[in-house]
């Protein structure tokens, strides 16, 4: 089927077939997307992440605060393995594009390093200081910098796997919808080997009436322009979607929606439901060497 007709089909699917979020009252929709209210122990989870990450940075070889821009948040933390030219797992943090930082997620490094996979965590500026569009551009620039300096950093630029959690899952999808040759004619069509999105948000219009939008300042035009499900997946790499079994129906719908739409657009997409995990503890599955880490490693070994 010609690409133009395929695009019409999957955009129509995204706009009309899965508009289930409209059935909720404003209060119900807020509850669907308010993960901190749904998981009140998030304070303890964040504190545990921070302690584990502080310990990791103190005990493991690393290169911290690698600069890709002028802002203090435009930085990368890298944990290289002992082997040269290792594959790299790049993680993009969540926080509704307005909180948290890369420093919470160094705890993901040890399990990856034990398998010979380098780890990097990407920082970016936050709303409302900048727009969501600015954040998308930050993440693109961070990825370009990693590729540019891969040899010096000791990683294989042809085996960079990108993952993200929550807002970071959205940003990963935006990376897959990026036309990289707009940034340099010598760049390949994709910078990545494979991708994972944990509990991502891919259709932003449901967020317009939520409390989170006070900082995001999205309107319908910008929400649609920054919704990966309405964009073409230009980076043809395997994508794994994962959602915790204890997450809200909307987070399950979000991943199911992009699985359908991008799958129809020709992308290889797999979808995993993790029983017993909520919106935050899904990150622990990778840190603890669970099935997410197994699948990430399998993707890196394939192809």
pLDDT of residue 16: 44
- Give 162-217 pLDDT, tens digit per residue: 999 999 999 999 999 999 999 999 999 999 999 999 999 999 999 999 999 999 99
pLDDT for the residue 19: 61
Q: Residue 140 in contact with residue 157, Cβ under 8 Å?
A: no
The predicted structure's pLDDT at residue 22: 82
Question: What is d(CA 262, CA 266) in angstroms, rounded to the nearest whole number?
Answer: 6
Distances (CA, A) of 250 to 91, 211, 216, 258: 23, 16, 19, 12
**Contact present, 68 and 76 (Cβ < 8 Å):** yes
CA gap 153, 62 in Å, rounded: 11
- Tens-place pLDDT, residues 34-46: 999 999 999 999 9
pLDDT for residue 143: 98
Output the CA angle 18-30-138, nearest 5 degrees.
80
Low-confidence residues in the chain, pLDDT < 50: 1-6, 8-10, 14-18
Q: Kindly report the three-state secondary structure assignment for every residue of 158-202.
A: EEEEEEEECHHHHHHHHHHCCCHHHCCCCCCCCCCCEEEEECCCC
CATH classification at residue 33: 3.40.50.1820
- Domain holding 290, by residue range, is 3-301
Separation CA 273–CA 186 (nearest Å): 38
Q: 243, 241, 224: which is closest to 282 by C-alpha?
A: 243
The per-residue pLDDT for 20 is 80
- Whether the CB-CB separation of 234 and 259 falls below 8 Å is answered with no
Number of domains into which the chain is organized: 1
Q: What was the pLDDT predicted at 11?
A: 52
């Amino acid at each position: 089927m010609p690409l133009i007709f395929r695009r019409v089909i999957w955009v129509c699917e995204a706009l009309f077939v899965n508009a289930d979020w409209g059935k909720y009252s404003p209060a119900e929709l807020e509850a669907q997307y308010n993960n901190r209210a749904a998981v009140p122990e998030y304070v303890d989870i964040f504190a545990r992440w921070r302690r584990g990450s502080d310990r990791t940075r103190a005990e493991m070889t690393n290169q911290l605060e690698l600069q890709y821009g002028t802002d203090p948040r435009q930085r990368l933390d890298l944990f290289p393995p002992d082997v040269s030219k290792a594959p790299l797992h790049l993680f993009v943090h969540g926080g509704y594009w307005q909180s948290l930082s890369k420093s919470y997620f160094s705890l993901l490094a040890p399990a990856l390093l034990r398998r010979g996979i380098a780890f990097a965590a990407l920082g970016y500026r936050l709303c409302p200081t900048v727009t969501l569009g600015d954040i998308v551009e930050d993440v693109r620039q961070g990825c370009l910098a990693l590729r540019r300096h891969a040899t010096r950093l000791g990683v294989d630029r042809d085996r960079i796997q990108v993952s993200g959690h929550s807002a970071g899952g959205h940003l990963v999808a935006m990376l897959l919808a990026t036309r990289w040759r707009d940034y340099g004619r010598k760049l390949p069509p994709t910078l990545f080997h494979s991708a994972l999105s944990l509990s991502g948000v891919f259709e932003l219009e449901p967020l317009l009436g939520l409390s989170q939008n006070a900082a995001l300042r999205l309107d319908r035009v910008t929400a649609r322009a920054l919704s990966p499900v309405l964009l073409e997946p230009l980076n043809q790499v395997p994508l794994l979607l994962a959602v915790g079994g204890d997450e809200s129906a909307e987070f399950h719908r979000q991943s199911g929606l992009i699985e359908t739409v991008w799958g129809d657009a020709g992308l290889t997409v797999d979808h995993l439901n993790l029983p017993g995990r909520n919106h935050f503890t899904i990150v622990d599955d990778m840190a603890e060497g669970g099935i997410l880490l197994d699948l990430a490693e399998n993707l890196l070994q394939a192809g």
